[in-house]
Structure 1
Amino acid sequence: TKRFTGLGIKDFQVQEALQKLNLISKNPKEWQETDIHSFVKELRKNTKPIIIAANKADLCKDLDIIKKIDESFVVPCSAETELLLRKASKAGIINYSPGEEKFSLVEGKEILPQQKKALEVVEGVFSKIHSTGIQKILNNAVFDTLKFIVVYPVEDETKLTNKDGDVLPDAKLLPENSNAKDLAGLIHADIAKGFLHAIDCKTKQRIGADHKLKNGDVIKIVSTLSRG
């Protein structure tokens, strides 16, 4: 395990790979070439995950290639199309939310000929790869590959607001299996230092520092200290 520390690989990750491949009780000196290859492949996959954004996929002439792509590893994308859609949405020309497979014109909004032509190009992209792929690869990278969860910290457990009255004002990304105190530390080091307990706003139950958080949890942190 010491040989992997320079790569940021933890002992438990090495143990997990060994157990999965049934190599835990086998002396490394007795490993076959196939054992070494399988171990390195498993360790790399779990500790250095990779996902590829196949940008400009809309320019691909052979659409069968896109159909054959394993989208858990490679996601067809068109960043230029996503940028165009977001600019058009910000300008109030279209209704579009990142990740959607369609857009609609804002009713009563006059558009210029060049804008209409650009949106026709977008429709052509959607007909090929269904969406721009940008939101999909972000979701895949964060939630599927890196195994993060989203947790919503609030100050009022009843109204689900911060001190200014904003509903669900923040969304925090944490690694899977993070606990309530990890969330406190992400908000502010002082809040974690003075951590007393937390409240699961969905169940209204008090939870401790070691309570494992789930994706979509809404949590209030109770601390003796506030943000510095």
Structure 2
Amino acid sequence: MHLFSHNPLNDVKFLEKELDMWYFQILKNGWEKFARTIKAENKDVKKALAKQISGLKVSEKDVDEVLTKLKFSHDPATWSDDDLLQLASILRKRTKPMIIAANKIDIEGSDFFLHKLKDEYKEYKIIACSADSELALREAAKGKLIEYIPGDNYFKIIGNLNEKQKNALDYIKKNVLDKHGSTGVQEVLNYAVFDLLEYITIFPGGVNKLSDSKGNILPDCFLMEPGSKAIDFAFKLHTDIGNNFVKAMNVKTKQAVGKDYLLKNRDVVEIMVKK
């Protein structure tokens, strides 16, 4: 494929439009009946609308703040399709945050489009990526040819490489790792999970023992949604553990905490259950 035969900026525009239209169609479906009901029953339009589109994980607070900003009429029956599309677009941006993985950064001349993306879409986090390079490095590590940790900016050769493998790894080192600091793949995943979604990491462990039978320290880790409590973690481990929850122990502080204890990132938690 010729470098300039495809413009990735168009991909972003297409995706934004598709997502906006998805929200719009959900809003538009049954809108006239919805608007009549609001007026006839004198309902709070913000609460009713939030309930109507709750499946999109749009909260009442989201709707309240967006409608306050837009200053639409209090009568939703007067809202035009353009109004609904504007509402859909703003709600989409608010509730479906995006990150742009600028893939194929290993191709010669791709920096041109990377800079164009960053100039055009300043509101998004844009990370240079090479998925092919990441796959090649992981396969090489799996085959005991190199030592490589996803996200690192280097690898160590530990096996016997043929000429083709050497050239491929040299290319990745020169055009991806040395130039961009990593393949970008792990950075995209980390940013999406920890920055956009704000998930936290929780480790199951004991007050008196942090290792497993093989001596591995805190070998397990769970991703939890922001606002998760001790009881949520108990159910994450197993339904029976959640149902028989008595208390939890914050292993770092060695303090007992109740089911409503708000978990913090990198907490080590032990769950006590009924016997």
Output the amino acid matched with 1:73: K
Q: 2:175 aligned with 1:129, yes or no?
A: no
Q: 2:66 aligned with 1:14, yes or no?
A: no
Q: How far apart, in 1, do the equivalents of 2:127 and 2:167 lie?
A: 26
Deviation at 1:52, TM superposition (A): 3.2
Q: 1:207 to 1:85 in 2, by over 3 A?
A: same
Match of 2:139 in 1: 87
| Greater helix share, structure number | 2
Number of equivalenced pairs: 219
Report % sequence identity: 36
Q: TM-score, normalised by structure 2?
A: 0.68
Output the amino acid matched with 1:171: C
Q: How far apart, in 1, do the equivalents of 2:168 and 2:229 lie?
A: 47
Match of 2:44 in 1: none
Q: How far apart, in 1, do the equivalents of 2:251 and 2:259 lie?
A: 15
Give structure 1 stretches of 5+ with no counterpart: none
Match of 2:93 in 1: 45
Q: How far apart, in 1, do the equivalents of 2:176 and 2:143 lie?
A: 21
Give structure 2 stretches of 5+ with no counterpart: 1-49
Higher mean displacement: 184-193 or 93-102: 93-102
Deviation at 1:77, TM superposition (A): 1.4
8 Å CA contact 2:66–2:87 kept in 1: the answer is no
Higher mean displacement: 178-187 or 67-76: 67-76
Match of 2:201 in 1: 150
Output the amino acid matched with 1:14: E
Q: How far apart, in 2, do the equivalents of 1:163 and 1:191 lie?
A: 21
- Bigger relative CO (Cα 8 Å, ≥ 6 apart): 1
Structural RMSD (CA)? 3.0
Match of 1:76 in 2: 128
Q: How far apart, in 1, do the equivalents of 2:51 and 2:123 lie?
A: 34
**Residue number among 151, 156, 162 corresponding to 1:104 in the alignment:** 156
Higher mean displacement: 114-123 or 63-72: 63-72
- In our comparison, the structure showing a higher alpha carbon Rg is 2
Match of 1:4 in 2: 53
Deviation at 1:101, TM superposition (A): 1.5
Q: TM-score, normalised by structure 1?
A: 0.81
Match of 1:63 in 2: 111
Three-state SS of the structure 2 residue aligned to 1:82 is helix
8 Å CA contact 1:199–1:220 kept in 2: the answer is yes
Match of 1:138 in 2: 189
Q: How far apart, in 1, do the equivalents of 2:256 and 2:228 lie?
A: 17
8 Å CA contact 1:93–1:111 kept in 2: the answer is yes
